[in-house]
Amino acid sequence: MAVTMLMVLSPVSAGATVHPATVLKAPYKGTTSSPNWYGGVSNCGVAKGTAGKWVPTTGGITASDTTSAKTCGKNIGYVGGASSGYWSAGITIAIPIKILTTANHTVGVSFSLTVTSASSYAHGLCPTKHITWPPAKYTYESAGCQTSAYLYFDLGANLVDLTNTSWYHYNYTSLYAYNDTYWSNYTSCYNYGTPTCYNQSGNYSYHGAYAYNAPGAATCSLSGTCTFTMWTNSTMPMPRTDRWAVEIYLYSSANSYAQYSNVAGPFVGSAAASINMATLGNGAKVTSVTVV
């Protein structure tokens, strides 16, 4: 299932005053950045990668995420049968901009983006599930086997008044792309008056991209190259005497999961997921910042 949503913000509204345009390009001066990463594993999961990295001399942004998971060890009930790996790389960047007139302004941040990603899962047969039928009244039971690989990429920008931190009158811009693939053979049953069971069995795949105030960005995906401009504008006049910056954030994440519970025997399953925005020519680049 592919889902696409695109809303376009015009850089200059009809009838509005046209301001002289200021265009910034690399090297970007006076910038600062805050990189981060979050990772975690359970049982036989593996996670590794890098934090986000900003290179102001070129406008480059890099990040990477790699995870895997496999079933392992002894499973008793819900204990011991789940493995997971999670890694999220991110960074927030502030680029100072100059406002020439006290008025409403629009800022466009142009990007080029090259990403490669991979996701996979494998599994054997799911053993017989231990489900009591009918379940006792006011009880819930579940059993089964699952493997999954989930990836996402999130990019956005907004305006910041560095002089008056309470100023927040702006429209944001963002891009979100994801890929979710998994296999499941799972049953859950409950009895709150009428015994009922829900079964899920098969392979599933969901992917899509959402863009807001970023014309053309919704055609981007987690594998390939694309270029686009993200537009963020003020909804009230921006005092030219204040200090201003455009704030950019980027997050990428890879998640792997393999699990079985309440089944009559061992289950062999595995999953892997990765996003490369750091090597082999991959990465994002701020090609220009335009203030109108």
For residue 217, report the phi and psi dihedrals to the nearest 5 degrees: -70, -25
Residue 211 lies in a domain: yes
Residue 13 lies in a domain: no
Of 199, 209, 186, the C-alpha closest to 257 is 186
The pTM of the full predicted model, rounded to 2 decimals, is 0.88
Residue 193 lies in a domain: no
DSSP 14-68: TTPPPPPPEEE-SSPTT-EEEEEEEEEEETT-EEEEEEEEEETTTTEEEEEEEEE
Paired with 226 in beta bridges are 113
Range of weakest confidence among 67-76, 200-209, 238-247, 280-289: 67-76
Residue 175 lies in a domain: yes
Over the chain, what is the mean pLDDT? 92
For residue 218, report the phi and psi dihedrals to the nearest 5 degrees: -70, -10
Q: What is the pLDDT of residues 127-163, one digit of tens each?
A: 999 999 899 999 999 999 999 999 999 999 999 999 9
* Region 39-56 average pLDDT: 97
Number of domains the chain contains: 1
Residue 236 lies in a domain: yes
Residue 224 lies in a domain: yes
Residue 287 lies in a domain: yes
Residue 2 has what pLDDT?
35
Higher pLDDT, 121 or 77: 121
User: Domain span at residue 169?
Assistant: 2-8+29-110+149-184+202-291
Token digits for 169? 């009158």
Residue 131 lies in a domain: no
